[in-house]
Structure 1
Amino acid sequence: MKKILGLIITYLFTVSVFASNVDTLLVYSKSMDKTIKNLVITPDSYPEKGKKYSVVYLLHGAYGDYKAWLGKAPKIKKYADLYNVILVCPDGDKFSWYFDSPVDESMKYETYISKELVTEIDEKYNTTLNKDNRAITGFSMGGHGALYLAFKHPDIWGIAASMSGGVDIRPFPLQWEISKRLGNYADNPENWENNTVINLVHLLNGKNLKFLFDCGIDDFFYDANVRLHKKLLERNIPHDYIERPGGHTNNYWSNSIKYQMLFFNDFFNQGKE
């Protein structure tokens, strides 16, 4: 009997330790004149009286939506509790690439995420209102989006990361509907040159953003990530770069986010110890 009671208590304790809450938040985007769904995961401690929470934004890849992260890496709910942070998973359309499209007025996902969504999250939740408590990451298209938004808006995000990110879109002019966002490459080369992460390094001064990116050596984006790493080294821009065995897979991303959350947590807690 004691053994059974012990097992029940252990089970209840295990369940209660990781009891994050998952909600769908509808946000109206004025820039695109539509309402967008976003997944918000709050830790079990939320709302703790008087506490302000750090926020991590998680961007999905091509073909995905706001629920993609929860399906590909369900342990993110555990990380919300473990690190006591709020996680926000926006819907970035299947192929937005998180640009403000120069050729399609209906696609303004840079404005939506960096301004409209951040403002809405800070108004509706108990967040710490500064860049040093705001992070962004993503996989594949979302990896591109995370670095793209953070490089362009280091006043919004103090730390960023990317996993398997398409950090140079130029080798893929016919893929993932990028041409619908930037125009045909042959006729609009400046749009492609100005909106690919590897060409935004000039926005970094080595101090305005802490970031890392990683990629599997069997990934089709591996070469682009290596080239970005080398370019940053040439410019003496501090960054963390990781490559490990793996491809463009859910297993890779669910493993990668584990380390990135630790990276973010260390940043959020700097100076608090």
Structure 2
Amino acid sequence: MLLKTLSHTLVLLATLMMTSLAANADTGRVDDTQSITSKTLGQAVKYTIYLPPDYGHSARSYPVLYMMHGGDDGRYNDWFVQDNLGAVLDRLINDGAIPAMIVITPDGLRNPENKYATYFMNDADGKFQWETMFIQEFIPAMQKQYRILDDKRFRAIGGLSMGGFASLMYAFKYPDLFSAVAVMSAAVRTDEQITQMDAAGYERRYGHAWGEGLVGEQRLNAQYRHKNVLDLVKSTPVGDIKKTKYYLDEGTNDPFFLGNVSLHLEFNKLGVPHQFLARPGAHNYDFWAPGSEPLLRFIGLNFQERSVQ
């Protein structure tokens, strides 16, 4: 009887161990402790990385999605802490709904105090160049550190709020770098919204990027025109814009609804294929959390379609 009980116990333990190993094999790895040392910024740049479930026991390379966080109190690991993106990725990859991919979320803060936002742009005075760092240092460093396909077809970018603005800006400025851009509640403001913004709000968000101490139409200067999404969509050659696929998801009660609709209408005017979703919601995670899955499905479909080109 004792031997029979012991045998049953060993079988149960073995089954549990096998189940645990299977569960671990189906779970990707999320690590928010990594960083690179940037010569451009003269400081470390932290990031969170998601490696798909089979990364540790395969030798192949993967598509990559760069996801940019929001402003104000937004942090580089929000996509995985606030939005539980790792679990969504695991489920979609394991179900075969999207191809296995690497997802990287870089830190867009100037410093821990975060008194003035970078908006993932270069400062007007050239002292802090986050955009240059990202394009010239960060992406190459990720390509070197991880098994990432070094091909535009398998490189995409996305983000929410401030990160959505930056993702669109990069898509227009670097049409040969990203195959798709997917954003939620992108912080796209109209000229009128910029000129009417209160001084403190302007300085905190855009003072360093477009010029400090500006009021009214002074803010609509060359720096602004060169970096503003609604200007870039008009100044970028249509052929270049069409090199990238676009996904816009916006809440009808979001303060950036008008800006996103303006971009949508400009795309229609230019004949640029894109997906535009307007659904009930405000500028918060109650809106963003359910939007993560369709966003990832869009990116996954893009990678699948690009693979046969």
Normalised by the length of structure 1, the TM-score is 0.89
Kept after mapping to 2: 8 A contact 1:42/1:80: no
Which deviates further from its counterpart, 184-193 or 148-157?
Answer: 184-193
Which deviates further from its counterpart, 162-171 or 30-39?
Answer: 162-171
Matched residue, 1:157: 178
Matched residue, 2:231: 199
Q: Deviations over 1:116-148 (max 9, x none)?
A: 110000011011001111111011001101111
Match of 2:209 among 151, 156, 181: 181
Alignment coverage as a number of residue pairs: 271
Kept after mapping to 1: 8 A contact 2:178/2:244: yes
Kept after mapping to 1: 8 A contact 2:69/2:161: yes
Task: Work out the CA distance in 2 between the residues paired with 1:249 and 1:51.
Answer: 37
Q: What is the alpha-carbon root mean square deviation over aligned residues?
A: 2.6
User: Displacement of 1:114 after TM fit?
Assistant: 2.1
Task: Work out the CA distance in 1 between the residues paired with 2:296 and 2:218.
Answer: 41
Task: Work out the CA distance in 1 between the residues paired with 2:58 and 2:269.
Answer: 47
Task: Work out the CA distance in 2 between the residues paired with 1:19 and 1:238.
Answer: 33
- The structure-2 alpha-carbon separation of the partners of 1:40 and 1:271, relative to structure 1 and needing over 3 Å to count, comes to closer
Residue 107 of structure 2 corresponds to residue 75 of structure 1: no
Matched residue, 1:226: 261
Q: From the two aligned structures, give the one with the greater helix fraction.
A: 2
- The structure-2 alpha-carbon separation of the partners of 1:271 and 1:69, relative to structure 1 and needing over 3 Å to count, comes to closer
Matched residue, 1:52: 61
Percent identity over the alignment?
A: 25
Match of 1:99 among 108, 121, 130: 121
Q: How does 1:1-273 map to 2 (within 5 A)?
A: 12=20, 13-14=22-23, 16-63=25-72, 64-79=74-89, 82=93, 83-93=99-109, 94=114, 95-103=117-125, 105-168=126-189, 170=191, 171-172=193-194, 173-174=197-198, 175=201, 176-183=204-211, 184-185=214-215, 186-190=217-221, 191-201=223-233, 202-203=235-236, 204-205=238-239, 206-270=241-305, 272=307
SS of the counterpart of 2:243?
A: coil
Which structure has the larger Rg over C-alpha atoms? Answer: 2
Unaligned runs of 5+ in 1: none
Task: Work out the CA distance in 1 between the residues paired with 2:28 and 2:153.
Answer: 26
Unaligned runs of 5+ in 2: 1-7, 94-98
User: Displacement of 1:271 after TM fit?
Assistant: 5.7
- The structure-2 alpha-carbon separation of the partners of 1:226 and 1:124, relative to structure 1 and needing over 3 Å to count, comes to same
Moved segments of 4+, more than 4 Å = 7-11, 13-16
Kept after mapping to 2: 8 A contact 1:214/1:242: yes
- The structure-2 alpha-carbon separation of the partners of 1:24 and 1:80, relative to structure 1 and needing over 3 Å to count, comes to farther
Normalised by the length of structure 2, the TM-score is 0.79
- The structure-2 alpha-carbon separation of the partners of 1:15 and 1:123, relative to structure 1 and needing over 3 Å to count, comes to closer
